[in-house]
Chain A
Amino acid sequence: MTNGQFFALMFLAVFPTMAMLLPGDLVRLGGRYGWWTPLLAAMPAIVAAWLTGTLGGRVGDSVSVAMRGLGRVAGRALLLVEWLALGAYMVVVIRESGEISAVTLVTANIPVWVLTVLSALPAALLVWFGPVVLGRTAILIWPVLVFMYAGVLAAILPSTHLIWALPIVPHDMRFATWQPVLRTWVWEAEPTFLGGVLMNHVQVTARKSAGRTLVWAVAVSAILTALGTWSMVAEAGPRGVAVGALPILDLVNRIALGPFVQHLQSVVLPIETMGTVVKVGVFLWVWSRLGQRIVGGWTTIVLVVETIVGTSLAVALFPSVLAVDRATYFWLARWALPALIGSIVVAYGAATIQRGRGRT
């Protein structure tokens, strides 16, 4: 895949659900100035992304590197840890995609489990067609998603109360804005561990700038989310944002510029659905790649099994959005994310050491 496709994939791996789910958490935990958190949290995330992209571009994807650097047994063990951690992510991501679709639909009473399955199916199809098709689809969708997001923020301008979002720089940033940092990293770290695995599918010419690409993916997502959260606070007030599960959708529902420019969830829903499906596709692709390397092949079977297992667990383990919220914080932020970052560090660290030994 080209540089542009790689960026599109990494951006869509983060942004669709981050923009939907994070702002409520940011303001709930961080208060009025919670919108600063994505920017603050982006700094270490950017460093991690740059390191992974640069190393990956030079030595290869994290999967091959793990096998080469640690040997077959240790490498497989590391991949298994990564697979389990990513599996946790996968399950949460699939469930989130169903939840977002369910909340966006106002009058249809389609059960969440049906929407969850419907999100997983096209994602599995995308993965089956291959990462290049995934990249081509992503490159079509990401500008539309950004444009839609910007359009929504512009459309709410007439109904904003700027005073609610002021001052820009808080008088005391000691505690509030730091609280949601860990949760923010759940999203902002995604390009790091996903990009590492995808590296071998990136064109050789694009691998040289892989670090920059990952940095851009993190930075653009963080800036857009911060901007969006600030706009939401200006439109709905901090409490209005904090009480909403998906505040951006509440915001969309409120847009009423005349008799016909309303009910814009009809525009948001298709674009958001496409974005989340690509996100699920990216995660599923990476997860299935790990699975294939662990079992040593059986590409289609691993994909089918993982799709079924992931979707079933997503439906069974999370009966409500509160459960998803808890899972994001307890499962992902506290053990899955450290496990994934840790395995990236171990894999590339071992490869770097090995390379250094090889030179000497």
Chain B
Amino acid sequence: MKREWGHIADRCETVLEHIRAVWTDLPLDGRDDAERLWETLGGPPDLVIRNIGDMRVLYLTTIVDHRRIEEAVIRPLTIGSGGAPFPQMLTAELSTLRTLGDAIDALLAAKVVFLSQGRAGGLAMPVQQWPQRELQEPPAEFIARGPHVGFVENLDTNVALLRHAIPEPSLRWEHIAAGQRTGTKGALVYIDGLVRPNLLARVRRHLRRAAPSFTLDSAMLAQWLAPRSNILFPTIGTTERPDRVVAALLEGRVAILVTGSPTALLVPNVFAHLLHVPEDYYQTPISALTNRLIRILGLLVAAGASPLLVALTTINHDLIPERLFVAIAQARRGVPIPIAVEVLVLEVTIEVIREAGVRLPGPVGQSVAIIGAVVVGQAAVMSGLISAPAVVVVSLAFIASFVLPSTDLVMTMRLMRYPLIVLATVFGLYGLTWGLLLALIYLCALDSFGVPYLAPVSPLRPRGLQDTLWRRPLPRLRRSFLASGAQRGQSR
């Protein structure tokens, strides 16, 4: 029954869309165009229709720049009125409107629409003033050295940032539909000559197939683009940093921007990309290598520290040195629950505290997190409910997870811990190994828009190894393994 209604609803929507399409294809005939526009838009309160001579000027007050309208539209029209069909405008941005649909799109795009009584067609002039915040560095992607600017919610501004960074004719971008119902626009950005044609074709195909009905944020579009492979490990990269997008474009990757979202999507996104930050390229290769090693260590600690503790203390006692064994055993004296349960409870508790800290307003949230972690943890240890080693290891694993630059990967590592802890409880170190092996097999089977997820390590692409762990000095950095091979051997 539910399927039936859904099917009927889909059919209705299709019919409505058809009607809308037909309606909006009606030409502007110069008779009652303004009234038809008003009706089509449902009589919105912010639609202004001004009659200046035989000119009718329409705009949506909420999204236009009033001062500019006054200076560039109203005043010239008022002064220059008296029979002149279209005034001399101070701008050369005029575009021609032919149909009702064009006029609607123009109004919604924060343009002023000019209609003339008795004259077919119309003109539009951009006067947008979208509500926009100033450019600031994304708080989740802070770096110490490098540009301190981030994307905003305005698509044009974001594209402008990219154009500013790459003033090259090979930088191409095209509009994409990021929301069928909402008409949300997006942009597909790439560098012609660097991007592989088959990758571009695949991305376009995915976009066409996805056709989301609405997109509030690019993260939603990402779920439409790669519904199956993006579940556990992120196969689509995200960033709010323009320099990161520029670097990705120069690697031959494709960026997708969406109106209303400061987060850009980057495809393809392999595992190695999740461990890279822009700062790696602003530092020396040795510093970059050290930081990347630390991130890998953080990854291993985040995923494996708690399960390893459980494995060693539950089953594989022989692997712990004697002094450490004694210290842990003494710390666990009187604790009423097995260490596996202890670790699981701590993991869940720390997630609850973290989530609570995120929801509460800034200073309060930090205080709650600190109080929760320190006070509650301390009290629990002192009362003998949990042991100090478990608190230390779980906290360390939690902190280590924030070494990872990708928030999606952080979440994945946190989720991976639970089955690994259970496996470690029942099978010890063997169980932990077994779980990691399953994860490795899954990663080997994953790909991101045709690129194996563990490339360039597996399958081995020697050209990719120049910037996986060790980054070659910039003057010797060759073209990325993801880029088109049309100009093989060229450096970046």
Closest CB of chain A to B468's CB: distance in Å?
13
Question: Could you tell me if B429 and A126 are in contact, using CB atoms closer than 8 angstroms?
Answer: no
Question: Could you tell me if A107 and B317 are in contact, using CB atoms closer than 8 angstroms?
Answer: yes
Which residues does chain A contribute within 8 Å of B432, judged by CB atoms? Answer: 270
A129, A135, A260, A269: which contacts B429 (Cβ < 8 A)?
A269
Which residues does chain B contribute within 8 Å of A115, judged by CB atoms? Answer: 430
Q: Which residue of B lies closest to A140 (CB)?
A: B458
Contact mask B177-219 → A, CB, 8 Å, 1/0? 0000000000000000000000000000000000000000000
B457 CB-CB contact with A under 8 Å:
yes
B415 CB-CB contact with A under 8 Å:
no
Assess A133 versus B321: contact at CB under 8 Å? Given A270-B429, A273-B433: no
Question: Could you tell me if A105 and B428 are in contact, using CB atoms closer than 8 angstroms?
Answer: yes
Closest CB of chain B to A35's CB: distance in Å?
30
Question: Could you tell me if B445 and A108 are in contact, using CB atoms closer than 8 angstroms?
Answer: no
A192 CB-CB contact with B under 8 Å:
no
B79 CB-CB contact with A under 8 Å:
no
Closest CB of chain B to A260's CB: distance in Å?
6
CB-contacts of A321-343 with B (<8 A): none
A106, A136, A262, A274: which contacts B458 (Cβ < 8 A)?
A136
Q: Which residue of B lies closest to A106 (CB)?
A: B318
Closest CB of chain B to A300's CB: distance in Å?
15
CB-contacts of B252-306 with A (<8 A): none
Question: Could you tell me if A108 and B316 are in contact, using CB atoms closer than 8 angstroms?
Answer: yes
A122 CB-CB contact with B under 8 Å:
yes
Which residues does chain A contribute within 8 Å of B317, judged by CB atoms? Answer: 107
CB-contacts of B405-459 with A (<8 A): 427-430, 432-434, 436-438, 440-441, 444-445, 452, 454, 457-459
Contact mask A129-165 → B, CB, 8 Å, 1/0? 1100101110110000000000000000000000000
B144 CB-CB contact with A under 8 Å:
no
Interface residues on A, range: 20 to 34
A277 CB-CB contact with B under 8 Å:
yes
Complex alpha-carbon distance, A228 and B77, angstroms: 93
Max chain A Cβ within 10 angstroms of own Cβ: one of B427, B452, B454:
B427
Question: Could you tell me if B459 and A107 are in contact, using CB atoms closer than 8 angstroms?
Answer: no
Assess A137 versus B457: contact at CB under 8 Å? Given A108-B428, A269-B430, A274-B433: no
Assess A136 versus B316: contact at CB under 8 Å? Given A105-B428, A110-B427, A269-B430: no
Assess A107 versus B318: contact at CB under 8 Å? Given A133-B444, A140-B444, A274-B440: yes
Complex alpha-carbon distance, A135 and B445, angstroms: 10
Assess A273 versus B434: contact at CB under 8 Å? Given A2-B460, A107-B316, A139-B460: yes
B368 CB-CB contact with A under 8 Å:
no
Closest CB of chain B to A151's CB: distance in Å?
17
Closest CB of chain B to A70's CB: distance in Å?
35
Closest CB of chain A to B290's CB: distance in Å?
22
Question: Could you tell me if B319 and A5 are in contact, using CB atoms closer than 8 angstroms?
Answer: no
A297 CB-CB contact with B under 8 Å:
no
* Number of A-B residue pairs having CB atoms within 8 Å of each other in the complex: 89
Assess A108 versus B315: contact at CB under 8 Å? Given A122-B437, A274-B440: yes
A266 CB-CB contact with B under 8 Å:
yes
Which residues does chain B contribute within 8 Å of A139, judged by CB atoms? Answer: 457-460
Question: Could you tell me if A273 and B430 are in contact, using CB atoms closer than 8 angstroms?
Answer: yes
Question: Could you tell me if B437 and A266 are in contact, using CB atoms closer than 8 angstroms?
Answer: no
A4 CB-CB contact with B under 8 Å:
yes
A106, A136, A265, A277: which contacts B437 (Cβ < 8 A)?
A277
Which residues does chain A contribute within 8 Å of B460, judged by CB atoms? Answer: 2, 4, 139
Which residues does chain B contribute within 8 Å of A274, judged by CB atoms? Answer: 433, 437, 440
Q: Which residue of B lies closest to A2 (CB)?
A: B459
Question: Could you tell me if A133 and B437 are in contact, using CB atoms closer than 8 angstroms?
Answer: no
Closest CB of chain A to B94's CB: distance in Å?
56
Complex alpha-carbon distance, A233 and B454, angstroms: 40
Question: Could you tell me if B438 and A122 are in contact, using CB atoms closer than 8 angstroms?
Answer: yes
Closest CB of chain B to A94's CB: distance in Å?
15
Complex alpha-carbon distance, A259 and B320, angstroms: 10
Complex alpha-carbon distance, A46 and B189, angstroms: 53
Which residues does chain A contribute within 8 Å of B433, judged by CB atoms? Answer: 269-270, 273-274
Which residues does chain B contribute within 8 Å of A1, judged by CB atoms? Answer: 459
Complex alpha-carbon distance, A273 and B431, angstroms: 11
CB-contacts of B437-492 with A (<8 A): 437-438, 440-441, 444-445, 452, 454, 457-460
Which residues does chain B contribute within 8 Å of A136, judged by CB atoms? Answer: 444-445, 452, 454, 458-459
Question: Could you tell me if B318 and A137 are in contact, using CB atoms closer than 8 angstroms?
Answer: no
Question: Could you tell me if B457 and A140 are in contact, using CB atoms closer than 8 angstroms?
Answer: yes
Assess A118 versus B434: contact at CB under 8 Å? Given A108-B315, A133-B441: yes
Q: Which residue of B lies closest to A130 (CB)?
A: B445
Q: Which residue of B lies closest to A259 (CB)?
A: B321
Question: Could you tell me if A105 and B430 are in contact, using CB atoms closer than 8 angstroms?
Answer: yes
Which residues does chain A contribute within 8 Å of B323, judged by CB atoms? Answer: 259
Which residues does chain B contribute within 8 Å of A4, judged by CB atoms? Answer: 459-460
Q: Which residue of B lies closest to A266 (CB)?
A: B319
27 residue pairs from A and B, CB less than 8 Å apart: A2-B460, A4-B460, A105-B428, A107-B315, A107-B316, A108-B315, A108-B316, A108-B428, A108-B429, A110-B427, A118-B434, A125-B438, A126-B441, A133-B441, A133-B444, A135-B459, A136-B452, A139-B458, A259-B323, A260-B321, A266-B316, A269-B433, A270-B436, A273-B433, A274-B437, A274-B440, A277-B437
Would you list the 3 A-B pairs with minimal beta carbon distance, nearest first?
A: A270-B433, A136-B444, A136-B458
A interface residues (Cβ-Cβ under 8 A, vs B): 1-2, 4-5, 101, 105-108, 110, 115, 118, 122, 125-126, 129-130, 133, 135-137, 139-140, 259-260, 262-263, 265-266, 269-270, 273-274, 277
B interface residues (Cβ-Cβ under 8 A, vs A): 315-319, 321, 323, 427-430, 432-434, 436-438, 440-441, 444-445, 452, 454, 457-460
Given contacts A122-B437, A136-B444, A136-B459, 12 further A-B contacts (CB under 8 A): A2-B459, A5-B459, A105-B316, A110-B427, A136-B452, A139-B460, A140-B444, A140-B454, A263-B319, A270-B429, A274-B440, A277-B437
